[in-house]
Amino acid sequence: MRTLSLVVTLSAFTTPLWAADFTVTRTDDPAPDGVTLSQCRVGGDCSLREAVLAANKRPGPDRILLGRAVYELTRATSATTPDGRSGPLLVTDTLDVAGAGSARTRVRWRSGVTPPHMFTPHKHPVWTASGDYQIDLQAMTISGGRGAAGGCIDRWAGDLNLRDVVVESCEGTTGGAIHFGGAYTSEGAGAYVLSLVDTTLRDNLAQYGGALFLRQTGTVIGDGARLLDNTALQHGGAVDAVPAETTVISYALQMVWRSEGDGTQVADNSAGGNGGGFSLVGPGYANIFSVSGAAPIVFERNVAVGEGGAISMRLQSFASPVAGTTAGMTLEQARLYDNAAASGGAVMLRAVRAVMNDIEFARNSAQNGSGGAIAADYATSGSRQSLLAIQRASFNQNHATQRGGAISSQCQIVSAYDSSFHANTSIGNGEVISSTGYTNFIHVSTDGHGQPTMGPASLHLTHHTACPGSGFTIANSVIGGTDNCYGQHGIIMSNGGNQFSSYAGGCYFQAGLDAYGSSASFALSVGTFGGDKSVLGWTNDGITRPQVNFGQPSLCSITDVRGLPRNVGACDAGAFEQQW
């Protein structure tokens, strides 16, 4: 059973006392000859393969030093079980391999030696390891692998730390660059860590997980991590994360993607199925976030032919018993720009309980369906209703070809707090949101949607025969511009504290608790206003705005869309709080 605590494991690249250093003196891949505990090869010279074999012989941590060179592997094999003497480099104990820099040191399979494309019976990644020990790969480029599980790196049941590493031009069935997985134990997955520090995974190809395939994993740390231009023929253009299933029992997904320091960039990846950036499958959970003070995790220009241009998460049934029957996701301090998919231009949630906090959605597109930024839907079997909670989010210029320019909700419970919606568009109704479930807006600002006499509505409530019911309430919000409400089936109700423009006649009005005003008097414009994302706000120019101190005190939130404090007991309507 794994005993190393997560706190210790997260301290990546700690320097152990090396049992031995092996300096590689040749760049070719000869047949291993006389590898001993003290030397790589009879005669004193040393290939990379021989250095790995020698390090495996010694108990405890060892280090291999590479120079400024290209190290080529050529000893291919038809064996299905690697032995390290041919095929991939097999690591069986704690090891640190350090090059001279990712632009100076390259480790690769020679072109033409390994199978030229994937879906072959042979397993030829560059590195492979399975066991509860730590592997550090530093200051090198790894390329040319053609593995089944992991095109270039196959790591199972142990920690893997990459620093100043580029993994490129690799192909695999699961994980074009890396396959990383937890362990089958009676307690579920071990708390294993994959650390990506100043590391780039680019131009890799796989059936599932163009850059990275995660099975029943623990924690991924991204600090200056870049997942760029990877392709999945099925799901997960950059990352595919799934539960683990055996013939006897299954283990739920347990994934944490922790962005630190310089953050994580997921850009220009594509999937032939779902999840142009990340594809996540439950039961289980996925927690994707940046720590306080770190750069946000950024998803941009990712494309999925199916659902979820940046992120797709769905609840899936398994034949064998599963630990848990629900799927959940948290997404915090993230920026999602210019992603596209058939539905769910940025995010697709199918029977998933999700919480999103401090998010910016801009220019995402549902090109053949609903939900320009987010589509939340039910599973065709099992759960009919789940939860989406959104806080401190901004939605700018997202588009859907059907309905829900920013958000489409089918039978879900959606709550949005301290959130801003501007200039989202859809062909059908609901340029801000189209909902067939239950929706609650508190401290929301909208502007730039709808048309005075025709065209799609801004806030749209309708029904679906699969839903147990529907409803829509708004409070302490500003519905500006020519934005409007359309209760196609039911009424969009008010809980007071709302400022409506003169075009918002379809929104329910509570005399004495809500007010109509001129859109110009709100003075809403798009800017950062001292925050770090674009929101609807206004400049404090000394002119009294009707929304100032108009919110119902009992419904006042603590902070506004930027995370700045609200006035106690007399808050502004809308997402933005004027700072005095």
The whole-angstrom separation of Cα 180 and Cα 188 is: 15
Reference 72, options 99, 116, 113, 109; nearest CA is 109
- Is the CA virtual torsion 464, 466, 469, 472 positive or negative? negative
| Helix (H/G/I), strand (E/B), else coil: 55 | helix
Strand partners, 136: 96, 161
Q: Give the model's pLDDT for residue 244.
A: 80
- Which tokens in the block code for residue 68? 């400024």
Strand partners, 146: 124, 171
Reference 555, options 469, 514, 495, 504; nearest CA is 495
DSSP one-letter string for 213-240: EEES--EEEEESEEEES-EESSS-SSEE
Residue 480, CA atoms < 13 Å, CB-side half-sphere: 29
Q: Give the model's pLDDT for residue 121.
A: 56
Q: 101-113 in b/e burial notation, b at 16+ Cβ within 10 A?
A: ebeebbbbbeeeb
Reference 513, options 480, 458, 550; nearest CA is 550
The whole-angstrom separation of Cα 134 and Cα 96 is: 8
427 burial via Cβ count (<10 Å: 0-12, 13-18, 19+): middle
Q: Give the model's pLDDT for residue 135.
A: 97
Q: Give the model's pLDDT for residue 240.
A: 97
- Which tokens in the block code for residue 286? 């996925």
Q: Tell me the per-residue pLDDT of 416-436, one tens digit each, with 9 for 90 and over.
A: 999 999 999 999 999 999 999
Q: Give the model's pLDDT for residue 114.
A: 67
With contact defined as beta carbons under 8 Å apart, do 53 and 85 qualify? yes
- Which tokens in the block code for residue 86? 């041919």
Reference 351, options 304, 384, 399; nearest CA is 384
Question: What is residue 124's DSSP assignment?
Answer: B
With a CB cutoff of 8 Å and minimum separation 6, the contacts of 292 are none
Intervals of the chain under pLDDT 50: 1-14, 117-118, 186-189
Single-letter amino acid code for the residue at 560: D
Q: Which H/E stretch holds residue 521?
A: helix 519-522
With contact defined as beta carbons under 8 Å apart, do 353 and 328 qualify? yes
Q: Give the model's pLDDT for residue 81.
A: 82
